[in-house]
Amino acid sequence: MGKADLHTHTNASDGDLSPEALLKKAQSKKLKTLAITDHDTIKGYLKAKEMAPDYGIELISGVEITALWNSKEVHLLAYNFDDKHQSFRNLLIKQKSARKLRMQAIVEVLNAQGLDIEYDEILAEANMGNVGRPHAASILIKRGYVSGVAEAFIRYLSSEKLQGVKTNYAPIEEVIRTTKDAAGVVSLAHPGRLYTDGEVRALIDEGLDGLECIHPSHNFSTQRKFTALAKSGNLLITGGSDYHGTGKSEYDPYFGIVTLGDQYIEAIKRTSENRKRIVNVYN
């Protein structure tokens, strides 16, 4: 049985490694299948796509999309979509500007607290990639306001601290519909981290195809609970390490360790292939 990791980030969003460096690392960890799931962008995936065969890696299309659900931000993982699908690409373009606007609003909140930090330097930290709170955290560390990423989130960047910040991320219905139109499948990222069981069930009812049962934030009992829920609801089981780079997040040591058996990849592909056929019939 081969090992897969369906949740990784590159420097196209808030990861440290270039797409090629990530492929290299995946090869060294003997992964068979990889999905690059940057936040709201497929640029890293597209760069890696050509190179993956050279590293003996099967790369499947992926992205982690932030969607709005009852004014909450939820992370959805989309896989095996047609990466040329126009409305799917347009969705990601809108998400990129939503990220920028949100970061401008975050900077205003930080400035109002007396922190001397500028939007442009955060954007520069993202280095053309999709901007996110970890880039703001890096600047807060550079300025000496906090000693590390964890402290930056606790004191300034958690969703509780940023409750007043309005965002125009796409609503969950739009994200699910557009991904399915592109023949992709949608899984709920790290369900154990942020939601109550009732919320997970309500999210499933929005039309999700799968649950990310395997994630470093899940202990064995959480993993078992979501796996049972996915099986009982005929949902796909997805999983990965949520790797962001060395030492960047508490999950980083799990790259190559928290993995998904590749028998689950077949089910993801099958669902997506069926969808492709249906999409072709109706278009």
Q: What region does 103 belong to: left with phi over 0, alpha with psi -120 to 50, or beta?
A: alpha
- Region near Zn ion per CB under 5 A, out of 57-65, 198-206, 211-219, 228-236: 57-65
When asked if residue 133 is in the footprint of ligand AMP (CB under 6 A), the reply is yes
Q: Which of residues 86-115 bind ligand AMP (CB under 6 A)?
A: none
The least CB distance from residue 279 to ligand AMP, in Å, is: 29
The least CB distance from residue 144 to ligand AMP, in Å, is: 18
When asked if residue 138 is in the footprint of ligand AMP (CB under 6 A), the reply is no
Dmax over CA atoms of the chain, in Å, equals 58
CB closer to Fe ion, 209 vs 212: 212
CB closer to ligand AMP, 98 vs 267: 98
3-state percent breakdown (helix, strand, coil) of the chain, nearest 5: 50, 15, 35
Tokens standing for residue 100: 């920028």
249 binds, among ligand AMP, Fe ion, Zn ion, none (CB under 5 to 8 A by kind): ligand AMP
Q: Whole-angstrom Cα distance, residue 196 to residue 213?
A: 15
Q: Which of residues 181-220 bind Fe ion (CB under 5 A)?
A: 189
When asked if residue 215 is in the footprint of ligand AMP (CB under 6 A), the reply is no
Q: Whole-angstrom Cα distance, residue 129 to residue 41?
A: 8
**Residue in 249, 259, 271, 272 binding ligand AMP, rule: CB under 6 A:** 249
Which uninterrupted H or E stretch holds 275?
helix 263-282
- DSSP secondary structure string, 154-208? IIIISTTTTTT----PPBHHHHHHHHHHTT-EEEESSHHHH--HHHHHHHHTTT-
Q: Which residues bind Fe ion (CB under 5 A)?
A: 14, 75, 189
Q: Which residues bind Zn ion (CB under 5 A)?
A: 64, 242
